[in-house]
Amino acid sequence: MATLNIAESIAETRNYPYNCWWVAGFGNEVGRSLLARWLLDTPVVLFRQQDGTVAALEDRCPHRQAPLSLGRLRGDTVECGYHGICFDATGRCVRVPSADAAPSFSARHFPVKEVGPFVWVWLGDASMIGSAPPPPELPWMTDPTFATRSGQMEISANYMLLKENVLDLTHFGYVHASTFQIEDWTNPPEVSGDGETVGYRQRFVNKPLAPGYAMSLGVPPGTPWNREHRGSFLSPALQEGCVDFQDPSQPERAPARFRVAHATTPVDQSHMLYFWVIARDFATVPEAMDHLVGAIRTGFDEDRVVLEAIQAQSSRGPRRVSTGERSVKADAAGIQARRIVARWMEREV
Amino acid sequence: MATLNIAESIAETRNYPYNCWWVAGFGNEVGRSLLARWLLDTPVVLFRQQDGTVAALEDRCPHRQAPLSLGRLRGDTVECGYHGICFDATGRCVRVPSADAAPSFSARHFPVKEVGPFVWVWLGDASMIGSAPPPPELPWMTDPTFATRSGQMEISANYMLLKENVLDLTHFGYVHASTFQIEDWTNPPEVSGDGETVGYRQRFVNKPLAPGYAMSLGVPPGTPWNREHRGSFLSPALQEGCVDFQDPSQPERAPARFRVAHATTPVDQSHMLYFWVIARDFATVPEAMDHLVGAIRTGFDEDRVVLEAIQAQSSRGPRRVSTGERSVKADAAGIQARRIVARWMEREV
Amino acid sequence: MATLNIAESIAETRNYPYNCWWVAGFGNEVGRSLLARWLLDTPVVLFRQQDGTVAALEDRCPHRQAPLSLGRLRGDTVECGYHGICFDATGRCVRVPSADAAPSFSARHFPVKEVGPFVWVWLGDASMIGSAPPPPELPWMTDPTFATRSGQMEISANYMLLKENVLDLTHFGYVHASTFQIEDWTNPPEVSGDGETVGYRQRFVNKPLAPGYAMSLGVPPGTPWNREHRGSFLSPALQEGCVDFQDPSQPERAPARFRVAHATTPVDQSHMLYFWVIARDFATVPEAMDHLVGAIRTGFDEDRVVLEAIQAQSSRGPRRVSTGERSVKADAAGIQARRIVARWMEREV
């Protein structure tokens, strides 16, 4: 079993599978105009049809290569902005203004699934779509018990760097020392995997709550509570994180639940789009959620700085740096994730 | 006969011939100082000698590679700005300040011809200069019956993208929908070629004049007139466009004539300098010509946006886009132009 | 004996030896925080230990490649900013917060010597350190008779371009015509070398002093004095320049002495860090030294413009320029310097 060596691969060889569902964007980004996006080094144009379903085509007119996104949406057809050639939502050419009959060529068409807040796209081999797992569903995303917020950013780093980041939260005390102030995550968590997914689980019993946690739970900072953190690599495209908070003096009460989804879609080998959704079933009033989003954005920006520094160093070439990496116990989940991705890659050779 | 596939070639293989006269600039740009320009991926420095003739040298001192254009013109010699070494207009070294005698080396010299408003330069094999066609001449450029204006821009796109743009004006209704408002160009034109040049011809009989045309002809917008558009690929360096306007109620009158020259010179494989000259023998007062120049600049900027988007998409590498192109009837002239260029390229292998 | 052809090599093949002491910075730049710098295409982090000695490590955590300079200095250990892994000044890992015992891995460590104002670093093969000459010492740098100033700049050019610049001062009359106003350097100097160093010597007897020289010596501009300029290529890393000024009417007096050190460290093949130190034993009051520094900065910027233009032209690829160079008599010292560097390169193949 080959383990992808990220140290050597992040700047060079493709380490993202084509034959996988990836998040193209949030559903509320895709409307009745043309949205252009590079995903897996492929130009994609997305739009919502009149029946509400989302369509995706290669963002390149097969006639003379103009990006279709420079054109406009007319009904359910895309009109190229250069010579007015029109394509339907399946990519079929339906009109050439300077010719009597539509020719037989097509723009490339990509299957789409809208699940919860995400628009998923299949950019791989169409014949493989049945053998791949469907987009993972996270029920809390559409559970009205939860208040939900989302956001996105482009990060100039290989997508696996973020995967590894969220699979090893011992970085809390360093990268987020001043923001999250979670200082008790010093031991590596329990890790379990089934070959296609991998998860960690870490329990904190009677531990003083960091100020942000305490405030949202309505208790003084430092109050001893129980927390259980769990995280799962669900597919190369999606990672889930969970925190359950429990007042140890009220063990009969249901835990307060925080959830986060990290969807990462490679733009290319050294850039990713990062789509995140957070939710919780406590402190759900808008002011509290606004405050949470502010803290999350600050924290994710701290991660971005580290990941981009790693990528920049790795991408700088020709260069003379040591190669290879040394792992520690806290890398166990990240290493399993690399192995899972390595198997995805092997399947499409 | 190979047809250059622009889809594959614009980002990669050279598709401009060296053994061809190319426009280096307008004569009024070249004076008694040093003008630096990259043309055909070659650094060139241009200046006007005291007798009024233009000289062109490689913009690189043969001593230690400083661009000669950092230096200055003294009489008819170029003095390098680094160590003061001087070259005459033929490139011959005539002085080394730190040595008693001038050495035998030379800067590379390029033949120049000034024809009408253009300075043409030969950057190819000097021994082939006799076998290549001379720079095409367009008599209207110096005909005092016409009012003339000119301009230039750098476009980050392969020069052939502009050639194809001006050989297929069915893009008027899309790229220039709001500016030129010429909505009747829906059929592909007649195309004829002789193997070295290719031209199109399109007649519009009793068609309502677009607002810009009507205003310049002094009639209300929408007045039915006759128009004949003609365009010719004269060489890889120069394209001509003509419009003759005729009031159908006065068939005995000479047509009102509009002319345009599109000179494109590759800077490199993905950038061009675009030099244009427009002229007409009606509405020649300065205010009317100013208005025309404003509209032309707006329109050419619209073309630039499309061409640069095509080039950017094509240049982005490593990438995963469909390759190849599909052609329609309106591409007939552009395809002939590609074939002509392919023959120029074959001749210099 | 191969002569490095800079014309061909500056943009492409490495022409700086690893097995050589290079200047990493000024001692006063390195304190109790982490200083990051790319040197010889290697990321380096520098810091001063509690005992005052300087340490240098590869600026890359062996765990997951984060630049160590993103972290912080704790005592004499560097704490990585990602997961808090700590390294001592020899690079040995001394702590992994998420593990009980420190593992056996290390960050790469580089030997350092602090000599006068410079911190020198050895980035080459550690086993070769004994066979290489030690960092050259220039006694005037620490001689209290002299007033000293220093500065640095990054120049986007190969380091050898600066070496050649300071070994051929016939460029004074062109590059620095308006600043230094030294117009009498028209003859090439005497050159002598011993195979490992090369020097020039030029005497000016009873020559009018340029305004800047005259002002600092307290005489009217144009006063005839004697000057002796000497310059030496001491190693690929360091060049020294000297000017002795003598009033010809007072031959018994000791000369007024000006000194300059040009330390150039390649960042990579087309960028260098340029560290300079100037000193003189006359006009040593702060106001006079400030004025001198202003003139020096202006002059060095004039050199930078030329060197970056040469590098830019040379780096532009794919390109079509003449190759090779032609030398003149004034290049004698620069050519010997190339040969010396070529021998350094041969020794580490």
Chains in contact with chain C (at least 3 beta-carbon pairs closer than 8 A) = A, B
Say if B68 falls within a structural domain. yes
Above 90 in pLDDT, residue A8? no
Q: Find the length of chain B.
A: 349
Beta strand pairing status for C112-115 and A224-235?
unpaired
| B172 plus B86 within the same structural domain | no
How high is the pLDDT of residue B52?
Answer: 98
Tokens of B106: 């030379």
Q: Do B81 and C168 touch (CB under 8 A)?
A: no
Above 70 in pLDDT, residue C10? no
Residue-wise pLDDT for C53-66, tens only, equals 999 999 999 999 99
Sheet with A54-58, side-by-side order of all strands: A35-39, A42-48, A54-58, A109-110
Distance from C-alpha of C179 to C-alpha of C181, rounded to nearest angstrom: 6
Look up tokens 């300059």; give the residue.
C260
When computed from its CA atoms, the radius of gyration of chain C, rounded to whole angstroms, is: 22
Per the DSSP assignment, residues forming a β-bridge with A118 are: A26, A115
| C181 plus C295 within the same structural domain | yes
Helix (H) / strand (E) element for B152: namely: strand B147-155
How high is the pLDDT of residue C309?
Answer: 96
How high is the pLDDT of residue C346?
Answer: 94
CA B240 to chain centroid? 10
Contact A233, A197 (CB under 8 A): yes
Helix (H) / strand (E) element for B312: namely: helix B286-315
* Domain limit, last residue, from B64, B94, B123: B123
Say if A13 falls within a structural domain. no
Query: Which region among A12-16, B172-176, C91-95, C154-158 has the lowest average model confidence (pLDDT)?
Result: A12-16
DSSP A100: S
Distance from C-alpha of B88 to C-alpha of B104, rounded to nearest angstrom: 13
Per-residue pLDDT, averaged over C30-34, amounts to 98
Q: Which residues from chain C sit within 8 angstroms of residue A306, using beta carbons?
A: 66, 70, 81-82
Q: Which residues contact C22 (CB under 8 A, 6 or more apart)?
A: C39, C40, C120, C121, C123, C236, C237, C265, C266
How high is the pLDDT of residue A320?
Answer: 75
Contact C214, C223 (CB under 8 A): yes
Sheet with B118-122, side-by-side order of all strands: B21-26, B118-122, B112-115
How high is the pLDDT of residue C4?
Answer: 52
Which chain A residue shows the shortest CA-CA distance from B326?
A63
| Interface test mutation site (partner A, options C98, C104, C122, C268, max chain A beta carbons within 10 A) | C98
Number of separate domains in chain A: 2
| B239 plus B106 within the same structural domain | no
- Structural domain including B47 reads 21-123
Above 70 in pLDDT, residue C317? no
Say if C134 falls within a structural domain. no
| B294 plus B177 within the same structural domain | yes
Above 80 in pLDDT, residue A176? yes
Say if C4 falls within a structural domain. no
Q: Is B340 left (phi over 0), alpha (psi -120 to 50) or beta?
A: alpha
How high is the pLDDT of residue B1?
Answer: 37
Out of B79, B84, B99, closest to residue C329 by CB: B99
| A179 plus A314 within the same structural domain | yes
Say if B243 falls within a structural domain. yes
Chain B contact for A102 (CB, 8 A cutoff): no
| B279 plus B303 within the same structural domain | yes
Confidence of residue C13 (pLDDT cuts 50, 70, 90): confident
Distance from C-alpha of C267 to C-alpha of C43, rounded to nearest angstrom: 9
Task: Please identify every stretch of chain B with a pLDDT value under 70, giving residue numbers as ranges.
Answer: 1-11, 317-319
Q: What does residue C14 show for φ and ψ, rounded to 5 degrees?
A: -55, 130
Q: Which residues from chain B sit within 8 angstroms of residue A79, using beta carbons?
A: 174
How does A56-74 read in b/e, with b if 16+ C-beta sit within 10 Å?
A: bbbbbbbbbbbbbbbbbbe
| A43 plus A149 within the same structural domain | no
How high is the pLDDT of residue C324?
Answer: 80
Q: Find the length of chain C.
A: 349
Among residues C86, C64, C43, C67, the alpha carbon closest in space to that of A161 is found at C64
Chain C contact for A323 (CB, 8 A cutoff): no
How high is the pLDDT of residue C1?
Answer: 35
Q: Which residues contact C208 (CB under 8 A, 6 or more apart)?
A: C184, C221, C222, C223, C224
How does A162-181 read in b/e, with b if 16+ C-beta sit within 10 Å?
A: bbbbbbbbbbbbbbbeebbe
Chain C contact for A179 (CB, 8 A cutoff): no
Above 80 in pLDDT, residue A12? no
Say if B128 falls within a structural domain. no
How high is the pLDDT of residue A58?
Answer: 97
| A183 plus A323 within the same structural domain | yes
Say if C6 falls within a structural domain. no
| C111 plus C204 within the same structural domain | no
Per-residue pLDDT, averaged over C79-85, amounts to 97
Residue-wise pLDDT for A39-81, tens only, equals 999 999 999 999 999 999 999 999 999 999 999 999 999 999 9
Chain A contact for B306 (CB, 8 A cutoff): yes
How high is the pLDDT of residue B44?
Answer: 97
Task: Flag whether the ipTM exceeds 0.90.
Answer: yes
What is the average pLDDT score of chain C?
Answer: 94
Chain A contact for B7 (CB, 8 A cutoff): yes
| B110 plus B146 within the same structural domain | no
How high is the pLDDT of residue B46?
Answer: 98
| B299 plus B325 within the same structural domain | yes
Q: Which residues from chain A sit within 8 angstroms of residue B306, using beta carbons?
A: 66, 70, 81-82
| B114 plus B152 within the same structural domain | no
How does C296-335 read in b/e, with b if 16+ C-beta sit within 10 Å?
A: beebbebbbebbbbbbebbbeeeebbeeebbebbbbbbbb
Residue-wise pLDDT for A96-123, tens only, equals 999 988 889 999 999 999 999 999 999 9
Q: Find the length of chain A.
A: 349
Q: What is the CATH number of the domain that holds C180?
A: 3.90.380.10
Which chain A residue shows the shortest CA-CA distance from C86?
A174
* Domain limit, last residue, from C72, C88, C123: C123
Above 70 in pLDDT, residue A11? no
Tokens of C187: 């003859």
Q: What percentage of chain C has pLDDT greater than the value 90?
A: 89
Say if B3 falls within a structural domain. no
Distance from C-alpha of B194 to C-alpha of B199, rounded to nearest angstrom: 9
What is the average pLDDT score of chain A?
Answer: 94
* Domain limit, last residue, from A123, A154, A184: A123
Answer with the residue of higher pLDDT: C319 or C190: C190
Neighbours of B198 (CB within 10 A): 25
pTM above 0.90, yes or no: yes
Chain A contact for B169 (CB, 8 A cutoff): no
Distance from C-alpha of C281 to C-alpha of C299, rounded to nearest angstrom: 21
Which chain C residue shows the shortest CA-CA distance from A320?
C42
How does C54-86 read in b/e, with b if 16+ C-beta sit within 10 Å?
A: bbbbbbbbbbbbbbbbbbbbeebbbbbbbbbbb
Among residues A98, A125, A101, A105, the alpha carbon closest in space to that of A21 is found at A125
| Interface test mutation site (partner B, options C168, C313, C331, C335, max chain B beta carbons within 10 A) | C313
Mapped to the 3 state alphabet, what secondary structure does C16-28 carry?
CCCCCEEEEEEHH
Above 90 in pLDDT, residue A222? yes
Confidence of residue C255 (pLDDT cuts 50, 70, 90): very high
Q: What is the CATH number of the domain that holds C57?
A: 2.102.10.10
Above 60 in pLDDT, residue A5? no
Distance from C-alpha of C65 to C-alpha of A311, rounded to nearest angstrom: 9
Rounded alpha-carbon distances, angstroms, from residue B154 to A154, B30, B270, B276, B305: 30, 18, 11, 11, 12
Q: Do A325 and C40 touch (CB under 8 A)?
A: no
